[in-house]
Amino acid sequence: MNQPQYPRTSLYFREGPADKEYHAAIQEQGDGFIVRFSFGRRGSTLAHGIKTPDPVTLAEAHAIYNKLVASKTAKGYQELAATPSLHHSTTPIPTLAQGSPNPATGNDTGIRCQLLNPAASSELGRLLANHTHCLQEKHDGRRVMVAKRGALITGINRRGLVIDLPAAITQAAEAIPGDFLIDGEAIGETLHAFDLLELDGKDLRPIGYLDRYRNLLFLLDADAGRGIRPVKCALTPADKLATYKSCRALDCEGVVFKEIDAPASSGRPNSGGAQLKYKFVETASFIVIGINAKRSVSLGLYHMHPDGPELIRSGNVTIPPNHPVPAMKDVVEVKYLYAFRESGAVYQPVYGGKRDDIPRNECLTTQLKYKAA
């Protein structure tokens, strides 16, 4: 059954030093409806409120909402220009019932996410101290985008392929009003959402990251349950440093720095970029090149030569009892302390699981961080 869709809008005002945003939406509450709003300077914490202290009828909510939007547009606020997205899937995907397989799994949607380059340690101080980048925890999961178009919920991996979603994420997406394309990191039954690329037919990629993030927070203000949660974002140098220290203390995978005014772009730049990751532990994707005794596998990586790639051995890793032993040629994720430059083997490897979303040709020696001389 299609979820009812109610009006919502995002308005922006920029003139001289003024740079503001205003969001309004009609939402169900109990047996009636409320009109919610949020506003503030772009880049600051938004104030939230409700125009209807008590739920009203849908007709009354529409009247209040329309008057509210009209009053803001009369003051010079403008709605983000509606542009058709060029990234929509050409394959309709049915909403999945709990536990049902997706018949379109593996189809290419044409959608590509933004991939990050690592930040050098020498850049860490600058990124923490500046006002041009925000900071977020880097979650140790799988990159997943969730698209909703009408009643159709589609899970998409980092390669743009359709994947099955956990029931909790699917149910959370169904509960969120409107159409959207959310980007995030999935861990178990939860999508840790950090970007909103499309909203109600509008392509948000051309606007700055902080504007997209604010739209994401507003979209997820309605309780989406534990299935989809927004990632926290630190903006000021003090908040960034505190979040960085907290992530270090909690043994998180790392942090991500994002340029707040940068648009979204697909793929990975050759170097640098508007979004950078800084890992506290090293990880890499390896190819299984041998099955050993006692739940151990041999790891390999491609080393690129002028005359073609060479598959070289990169050590072994033990498979813990809670993971199945991967097969030959599977791609697996491994955490490690560092790699030896002479042999290419990794030191203190820890198995992280199979990676169906990473092709073998991306398993390169360029991923490795080597022991300092």
Instruction: State residue 173's pLDDT score.
Output: 93
Residue 74's pLDDT is what? 83
Domain range list for the chain: 8-79, 117-279, 282-367
Q: What is the pLDDT of residue 48?
A: 74
Cα 69 from Cα 316, distance rounded (Å): 61
> E-assigned strands of 42-141?
47-50, 78-79, 117-118, 133-138
pLDDT value of residue 140 = 84
pLDDT tens for the chain, 373 residues long, are 445 667 888 888 877 667 788 888 888 887 888 888 888 776 566 677 788 878 899 989 999 999 988 888 888 888 754 333 333 333 333 333 333 345 456 788 889 999 999 998 899 999 999 999 999 999 988 999 999 998 899 999 998 999 999 999 999 999 898 999 999 999 989 999 999 999 998 999 999 999 999 999 999 875 556 799 999 999 999 999 999 999 999 888 899 999 999 999 988 888 889 999 998 888 999 999 999 988 999 999 999 888 788 899 999 999 999 999 999 999 999 999 889 988 889 999 999 999 988 989 899 999 998 877 6
Q: What SS3 state is found at 56?
A: strand
pLDDT of the residue at 155: 94
Q: How far is the C-alpha of 184 from the C-alpha of 113, rounded, in Å?
A: 10
State the pLDDT at residue 18: 73
Task: State in words which class domain 282-367 has.
Answer: mainly beta
What is the CATH code for 117-279? 3.30.470.30
Cα dihedral sign for 203, 209, 211, 217?
positive
User: Which strand (E) or helix (H) includes residue 13?
Assistant: strand 8-15
Is 8-79 CATH 2.20.140.10?
yes
State the pLDDT at residue 43. Answer: 57
Supply the pLDDT for residue 124.
Answer: 95
- Decide: helix, strand or coil at residue 133: strand
CB-side exposure of 136: number of CA atoms within 13 Å?
Answer: 22
SS3 215: helix
Domains 117-279 and 282-367 share a fold: no
pLDDT at 247: 93
Model confidence, pTM: 0.67
Give kind and range of the element (H or E) at residue 32. Answer: strand 32-41
